[in-house]
Structure 1
Amino acid sequence: MNRLVLVLTLALLSAGTAAAQVPADEVSEARAALEAGDLAAAVQRVEPWRERGDLPPAARAVIGAVDLELGQPSRALERLAPLADDPAADAFVLTAAGRAALALGQLERAGAYLERAVKLAPRSPAVRALGLLRGRQGRTVEAFQHLRPWALTHPEDYEARLAAALCAVELGRVPDAGKLLEGLSDDDPKVALLRGKWLFLSGDPRAAIELLRPRLAHAPPPLARDLRSVLAECYLRIGESEQAIEVLAGHVAGDPWLGLFLGRAYYQAGRLDEAAATLAPVAAGLDAGDETLAARGQSGLAGAVFLEYGRVLLTNGDAAGGLPYLERASKLRPDDRQVWQSLGQALVTVGRREEGMAALERFRQLVENEGSDLEIHEASDAAAEDPTGERVRQALKRFQRGEREKALAMLREEQKLAPEDLRPWLREVQLLLMMERHEVAAQAAAALVERFPQEPDVHYILGVAESANRHLEDAERAFRRALELAPGHTAALNDLAVILISQGRRDEARTLLQRVLALRPDDEMAKKNLERLEAAMAGG
């Protein structure tokens, strides 16, 4: 009798478990409906499941995602979190959990889930969600890194497109901003504002003024503030300081950026007392330690304000009053030549001549490194047209000045901003080789081959790195692949010939060097290598 009871009990438990299961095809259909944006169909599918007990993880994930779309993020996260915390969670679960956490203001948790989702599915909606989150956190480079490719492949996604354009503007990436704004209507005040900023960055402040000034009178407060900021910069750029004052006066209370622009406008207009009176409370509001300013994200603002206020006081005959602000500015903006010029003048004026001359020498060095005002203007134009190219050039300048790690950091940041552009990637490997970090250079070059398999220069730089490591077979393989892709790649022909010479394979080496000279008769290296090779072959 006991045996019969046990058998019946097991049978009932088995039947209950089977009843709780949801067919895999139903789960797939509900998930597909949800991903297609058909919330009604997804809801219709999942509602009968809610009464069941032991649902499979895939069904619980879909229910959680539906709850999120129904505006119930708390209930959604309650279901999704145990699934997302599993190291084996898929991108669907992680994305839904991340969005639910984001809706609840749990930003760090949301970021952790979405980062994992993006690694698993780098073209999924997780990319969009993570980009918007990073933008909300003020992490503009990371936001742009995610939002730009998403917006370009999903141009109908208006919110993501505007967010990507905002990032592009903030980063000064003029071509990207223009492409993202292309075709959008200026009837949307947000689009008009971004286009005005883009016009300013493109070197056309008058067009930006023409677009934005008529909108100022009827703009709501948050938009009016941004319009005033852009208009002030435009007027200051073209030397119309009185117009900038008209736009800003009476509207700067509690806004340090607008206060900075108004102080700058008064200074440009020669109204020094008003400039000082405007900047004094702004500077006082930023009177904190450098670490505190950095934690608040105000280091750049504080450096600009201290420079401006210090210059105003110096010009107005109060060098002693301006000196502390200029000294603070020199710590916050150590590469700003205006800071060192004004600081040097203030130090000399108060009788600290030796220190003043040292500051002026620093100013002279910066001018020498950066070039004349005309050269800086030309570089600014170049950056507007080709931000990646200018960034790579600036990194090389830093490297040449001995700032090697900063140069590498600049290149790596640019790789995030323009991942499809080969130049920052190649330059990083070249700089690593110049630093004799050969193993790291070879690893970076090998990763490049995975990213850009059809680029001959990538295979060539891998060959150079492998040669530096004395891995000659690997180097030869890389050079030959470069030549398969670009038979006229003279650098690969030259370097492959050198390897062959070292291995006694003289006939092929001579053929390669002759090919180089047929392509570039003035190639001195190839000439010398061929001369030495033929002399050696003649001598036996």
Structure 2
Amino acid sequence: MTHFRTSCTGLTLIVLAASGGCGPSRTAPFSPSTSPRDTRVMVKPPESVAVESLLKGRRLADEGRAREALIEFERAIENNPLLVGAHLAAGDLYMQQGDTQMAAVRFERASSLAPGSFDAQFKYGQALQVLGQLVDAVRQYLKALAIKPNDFQANMNLGVAYLQLNEPENALRYADRAVKISPRDGQARTNLASVYSALNRHEEAVAEYLQSIELMPVSPEVLLNLADSLSKAGQFEQAINTLEQVVRTDPSAAAYERLGTAHFRIRRYDEAEQAFRKAMEIDPNHYPALNGVAVCLLNKYIWGDYAEDSYRAEAVRLIIRSTNIERRQPRIQALYDRYKSPR
């Protein structure tokens, strides 16, 4: 009789290999404490990190922690270069810190990413204007105004930019619109007055300067500009009164020189010379005052029938000083050529 040995084959072999024999398999009960742990680290997508950094940066900025806020805004940009809010927020802080160049970089990127964003276009224009890149600033302000035509600050800034470019005709439209939008804003009135003055529309300039003075604290600069327009409008007495107010509160070579000019225009030559000499005391190199005294002395020389040569000699010395400071004075040079030698 042939005997057969039982063998484990097929699927049974696999079981035996795992259990160590042909007998029944003994499987240990499942225990959570003995199961393998999941050691994978969950990594946040860069976009989420960027948003978190932006929000954290805003909180820090609100708390006055500008340096830490800026770090967060830059981290947001690093994780998501397309996050417009981060570019704008970083640009704002750079502007506050006086780093206009970096602010312009951030605002330029924001304006490219969001061409329909008023803030992006306007803030880039502001940075460019501070940097003196006026043609580019005008372009950005025009883009901003295409989005919000009646924005007060954009209209006012654009008017100033055109005036800085010596384009008062273009400035007028926007300076006037700013006043219409906010008629009680003194600075807008001052800007419009400056535009009218540049256009030689001095009566309108005077009206705007006077209104601006009623709306904001009076500054010497505004009073000086008002006096200039008063003089050019032929209102010399009013100009003198305005300039006397300036020299009482904030004396300067420019104020005394303009006071002298106003007196000279109404033939108060002694008062004119006194004011010019006062300007020279404050600033010996203020060449318009040197010219003023020289002209007064030459008048005395002429009216005295050329008898008192000391007037002519002093006038010539002052003219030489003046033209050494500012050479491009053809009319003053002509006086020198005429009176450099005694009669």
TM-score where L is the length of structure 1 = 0.45
* Residues 226-245 of structure 1: per-residue CA shift (max 9 Å, x gap): 43133212112123333212
**Distance in 1 between the 2:294 and 2:335 partners?**
8
Which amino acid counterpart does residue 191 of structure 1 have in structure 2?
A
Residue range with higher mean Cα deviation, 64-73 or 149-158 = 64-73
1:80 aligns with 2:70: no
Q: Which has the higher contact order (CA 8 A, sep 6+)?
A: 2
Give 1:96 shift. Answer: 1.9
- 1:342–1:70 distance in 2 versus 1, CA, 3 Å: same
Residue range with higher mean Cα deviation, 85-94 or 192-201 = 85-94
Q: What SS does the corresponding residue of 1:312 show, helix, strand or coil?
A: helix
Aligned CA-pair RMSD: 3.7
**Distance in 2 between the 1:84 and 1:257 partners?**
50
Contact kept in structure 2, 1:320 and 1:350, CA below 8 Å: no
What pairs up with 1:329-368 in 2 under 5 angstroms?
329-330=326-327, 334=328, 339-351=329-341
- 1:236–1:136 distance in 2 versus 1, CA, 3 Å: same
Which amino acid counterpart does residue 168 of structure 2 have in structure 1?
V
* Residues 378-422 of structure 1: per-residue CA shift (max 9 Å, x gap): xxxxxxxxxxxxxxxxxxxxxxxxxxxxxxxxxxxxxxxxxxxxx
Q: What SS does the corresponding residue of 1:239 show, helix, strand or coil?
A: coil
Give 1:135 shift. Answer: 4.1
Q: Which has the higher helix share?
A: 1
Contact kept in structure 2, 1:98 and 1:110, CA below 8 Å: yes
Give 1:214 shift. Answer: 5.9
Give 1:260 shift. Answer: 4.8
Q: How many residues align?
A: 284
Which amino acid counterpart does residue 149 of structure 2 have in structure 1?
P
- Structure 1 counterpart of 2:107, from 94, 114, 129: 114
**Aligned residue for 1:265?**
262
Which amino acid counterpart does residue 188 of structure 1 have in structure 2?
D
What pairs up with 1:2-401 in 2 under 5 angstroms?
8=37, 10-11=39-40, 13-14=41-42, 17=43, 20=44, 56-65=49-58, 68=61, 73-84=66-77, 91-118=84-111, 120-121=113-114, 124=117, 125-136=119-130, 140-180=134-174, 181-182=176-177, 183-213=180-210, 216=213, 218=214, 220-221=216-217, 223-252=218-247, 253=250, 257-270=254-267, 271=269, 272-281=272-281, 283-284=283-284, 287=285, 305-306=286-287, 308-317=288-297, 318-330=315-327, 334=328, 339-351=329-341
Structure whose alpha-carbon radius of gyration is higher: 2
Identical-residue share of aligned pairs (%): 15
**Distance in 2 between the 1:255 and 1:198 partners?**
24
Q: What SS does the corresponding residue of 1:320 show, helix, strand or coil?
A: helix
**Distance in 1 between the 2:182 and 2:130 partners?**
24
Give 1:189 shift. Answer: 2.0
Give 1:93 shift. Answer: 2.9
* Residues 56-97 of structure 1: per-residue CA shift (max 9 Å, x gap): 234423543565477654332120124547895654432221
**Distance in 1 between the 2:95 and 2:337 partners?**
51
**Distance in 2 between the 1:86 and 1:314 partners?**
69
**Distance in 2 between the 1:254 and 1:6 partners?**
89
- 1:85–1:232 distance in 2 versus 1, CA, 3 Å: farther
Which amino acid counterpart does residue 340 of structure 1 have in structure 2?
P
**Distance in 1 between the 2:81 and 2:35 partners?**
37
Give the gaps of 5 or more residues in structure 1. Answer: 25-54, 288-304, 353-540
**Distance in 1 between the 2:35 and 2:252 partners?**
77
- 1:281–1:148 distance in 2 versus 1, CA, 3 Å: farther
Contact kept in structure 2, 1:323 and 1:347, CA below 8 Å: no
Which amino acid counterpart does residue 57 of structure 1 have in structure 2?
A
- 1:118–1:185 distance in 2 versus 1, CA, 3 Å: closer
Give the gaps of 5 or more residues in structure 2. Answer: 1-32, 298-314
* Residues 255-296 of structure 1: per-residue CA shift (max 9 Å, x gap): 565455334324434433134224314543xx5xxxxxxxxx
- 1:281–1:114 distance in 2 versus 1, CA, 3 Å: farther
Contact kept in structure 2, 1:327 and 1:343, CA below 8 Å: no
- 1:322–1:250 distance in 2 versus 1, CA, 3 Å: farther
Contact kept in structure 2, 1:266 and 1:274, CA below 8 Å: no
**Distance in 1 between the 2:323 and 2:34 partners?**
90
**Distance in 2 between the 1:120 and 1:7 partners?**
48
Give 1:309 shift. Answer: 2.5
TM-score where L is the length of structure 2 = 0.66
**Distance in 1 between the 2:149 and 2:282 partners?**
41
- 1:108–1:85 distance in 2 versus 1, CA, 3 Å: farther
**Aligned residue for 1:517?**
none
* Residues 20-52 of structure 1: per-residue CA shift (max 9 Å, x gap): 559x6xxxxxxxxxxxxxxxxxxxxxxxxxxxx
- 1:112–1:345 distance in 2 versus 1, CA, 3 Å: same
What pairs up with 1:515-526 in 2 under 5 angstroms?
none
Which amino acid counterpart does residue 159 of structure 2 have in structure 1?
A
**Distance in 2 between the 1:94 and 1:133 partners?**
14
**Distance in 2 between the 1:144 and 1:258 partners?**
33
Give 1:246 shift. Answer: 1.0
- 1:193–1:107 distance in 2 versus 1, CA, 3 Å: same
- 1:90–1:250 distance in 2 versus 1, CA, 3 Å: same
Give 1:166 shift. Answer: 2.7
Which amino acid counterpart does residue 311 of structure 1 have in structure 2?
N
**Distance in 1 between the 2:291 and 2:58 partners?**
57
- 1:185–1:78 distance in 2 versus 1, CA, 3 Å: closer
